[in-house]
Amino acid sequence: MKKLSLMKKLAGTQWGANSGILKQVYTGAVRPVMEYASSTWTTASKTNKGKLDKVQNMGLRIILGAMKSTPIQEMEKTADLEPLEDRREYKAVLQGEKMKRLTTHPLHQNLNKGTKNRLKRKSLKHQVKDLQTEYAEALEADPNCCETLVSDVWAPRKSFHEVRTDVPGLTAKGEQSPHVQKALAMEMIQDRYPHCTWTHVYTDGSSENAVRNGGSGVYIRRPNGTTTSLSVPAGDLSSNYRAELHALITAAEHAAGEDRSRQNIVLLTDSLSALQSLLSGPTDLPTRQLDNCLSTLSQHNKVVLQWIPAHVGIVGNEEADRLAKGGARLPQPHNSTSYKEAKTLLQRKKKENRKKRNGDYNPQEDPINKLDRRSQTTIFRLRTGHCGLKKHLKRLGLADDAHCECGSEEQTPEHILQNCPHLETIRQKFWQEETSVGAKLWGPADELRKTADFLAATGLRI
């Protein structure tokens, strides 16, 4: 509660930090306190957990400048914050996935036993088993197919390959057009790895809904002009990351198996996460396998792994992408899954569930995020209808009449923005052409600012 008071000092409804800054304060300083060791007390009563949920609801109202009556789901959707109960359940099932892979831990054997259901109770084991059913599509059901989780042991690096993740001139994602990104990437490839002296190996991976039926594609182009195309399945339970790693492993094994040596080989991939995992040191079985394959290949060849931007029209990358999609349609082997991959698959499933709940709305792309505090508060309140206009105040028992002063109809956001005759002159100053209420509340940032300025000019308290 003290930290919520800090958020209140940062902003009011008409002044101060915007919702993005307030959300950072909440997720960085408030929520972690409420979630500390949540997997150990996730079976607490609804009453006790509800007390924490109320704190999040207060935080949401501060972040968005919302009225107390605003529906919680609307606030969570706009602020892009999950319900605390969803996060607690995710951490509980993640704890179960960890215990599956810690074969020497007492909880490993306990979770594999059946539950005692004579008495009505809910232990962590009960909850984990229920949640594993809910997340069955993204989880490995057979404990024997779960990769054992072991402590990281330092070992000297055996590989002599180089990993590069830079492309000169390339800026942050979304700042440059695909044509510019392609031109920069092609220039880099030609400068660093000329076609006449380097073998270019393009790799890509994909999976169905990023959780299953993975496919890996490899497209090899040699200095003499010959090419090789490989399309292989990556497993029935596979993330995009695993499919990308499998593509790199397939490429390294194929190149090492060719009767050639003293080559210059560059593996070109759009998977930055795969290269970063190599740089930080192999932690799971696929990454260790890739490191070993690269070590073998590097013994008699110069090997470089180079990141390139995805889906910008680079011919080799597009061909590898096509081959990866073909691999996803092949009969799939059943692979073991690591704890890291289980986390990725669970996060993807959780993201899908949120997307279904939110419909077509994407909070990351909402123009409301570009507004100042006053405008954000005004637009959000008008969107939900939970605002200081008479219809809502009448519903709360704070006004005797829901009708506007003009007397024509109830005072609602749509009436104020579109129809109120008393505000016609002010409306004409802001909108010379007819504009729908949807555009005024959900349009681009400039349109939203215009709406907020119009409300300020009317003198109405929203």
Q: What is the pLDDT of residues 373-392, one digit of tens each?
A: 999 999 999 999 999 999 99
Q: Are 115 and 126 in contact (CB under 8 A)?
A: yes
What pLDDT, on a 0 to 100 scale, did the predictor assign at position 153?
A: 58
Determine the Cα–Cα distance for residues 39 and 51; give it in Å rounded to an integer: 17
In this predicted structure, which of 70-79, 130-139, 329-338, 406-415 has the lowest mean pLDDT?
130-139
Determine the Cα–Cα distance for residues 352 and 329; give it in Å rounded to an integer: 22
Beta partners for residue 208, in sequence order: 212
Q: What is the pLDDT of residues 294-307, one digit of tens each?
A: 999 998 899 999 99
C-alpha angle 149-150-154 in degrees, rounded to nearest 5: 140
What pLDDT, on a 0 to 100 scale, did the predictor assign at position 2?
A: 75
113: confidence class by pLDDT, cuts 50, 70, 90: low
Residue 99 C-alpha from the chain's centroid:
25
269 has pLDDT over 90: yes
Determine the Cα–Cα distance for residues 160 and 312; give it in Å rounded to an integer: 30
Q: Read out DSSP for 53-69?
A: HHHHHHHHHHHHT--TT
Q: For residue 334, with 0-12 CB atoms within 10 Å meaning exposed, 13-18 middle and 19 or more buried, which class applies? A: exposed
Determine the Cα–Cα distance for residues 316 and 147; give it in Å rounded to an integer: 33
3-state secondary structure of 292: helix
Structure tokens at 403: 């009708």
Spell out the domains of the chain, with CATH numbers in brackets.
Answer: 2-146 (no CATH), 162-335 (3.30.420.10), 366-458 (no CATH)
How confident is the model over 122-135, as a mean pLDDT? 75
pTM of the predicted protein model? 0.78
Q: In what order do the strands lie in the sheet with 199-208?
A: 162-164, 302-307, 264-269, 199-208, 212-221, 227-237
Q: For residue 133, with 0-12 CB atoms within 10 Å meaning exposed, 13-18 middle and 19 or more buried, which class applies? A: exposed
What pLDDT, on a 0 to 100 scale, did the predictor assign at position 140?
A: 72
Average pLDDT, the chain: 88
Q: What is the pLDDT of residues 175-207, one digit of tens each?
A: 889 999 999 999 999 999 999 999 999 999 999
Determine the Cα–Cα distance for residues 239 and 345; give it in Å rounded to an integer: 6
Percent of the chain past pLDDT 70, that is, above it, reads 94
Determine the Cα–Cα distance for residues 203 and 318; give it in Å rounded to an integer: 10
Instruction: Report the 10 Å Cβ neighbour count for 115.
Output: 13
- Count Cα neighbours of 342 within 13 Å in the Cβ-side half-sphere: 29
Q: What is the pLDDT of residues 150-172, one digit of tens each?
A: 666 555 555 568 899 999 999 88
Amino acid present at 223: P
Determine the Cα–Cα distance for residues 44 and 125; give it in Å rounded to an integer: 14
How confident is the model over 265-279, as a mean pLDDT? 93
266 has pLDDT over 70: yes
3-state secondary structure of 89: helix
Amino acid present at 419: N
DSSP class of residue 410? Answer: B
Percent of the chain past pLDDT 90, that is, above it, reads 60
What pLDDT, on a 0 to 100 scale, did the predictor assign at position 249?
A: 95
What pLDDT, on a 0 to 100 scale, did the predictor assign at position 49?
A: 92
Q: For residue 295, with 0-12 CB atoms within 10 Å meaning exposed, 13-18 middle and 19 or more buried, which class applies? A: middle
Determine the Cα–Cα distance for residues 151 and 283; give it in Å rounded to an integer: 9
Residue-wise burial string across 344-356, b where 16 or more C-beta atoms lie within 10 A, e elsewhere: bbbebbbeeebee
* Most confident listed range (81-85, 233-237, 343-347): 81-85
What pLDDT, on a 0 to 100 scale, did the predictor assign at position 1?
A: 66
Amino acid present at 127: Q
Q: Are 200 and 186 in contact (CB under 8 A)?
A: no
What pLDDT, on a 0 to 100 scale, did the predictor assign at position 107?
A: 76
Residue 345 C-alpha from the chain's centroid:
12
3-state secondary structure of 448: helix
- Count Cα neighbours of 141 within 13 Å in the Cβ-side half-sphere: 8
Determine the Cα–Cα distance for residues 277 and 288; give it in Å rounded to an integer: 10
Phi then psi for residue 257, to 5 deg, are: -80, -15
What pLDDT, on a 0 to 100 scale, did the predictor assign at position 147?
A: 78
Determine the Cα–Cα distance for residues 240 and 213; give it in Å rounded to an integer: 10
How confident is the model over 74-103, as a mean pLDDT? 90
Determine the Cα–Cα distance for residues 200 and 387; give it in Å rounded to an integer: 60
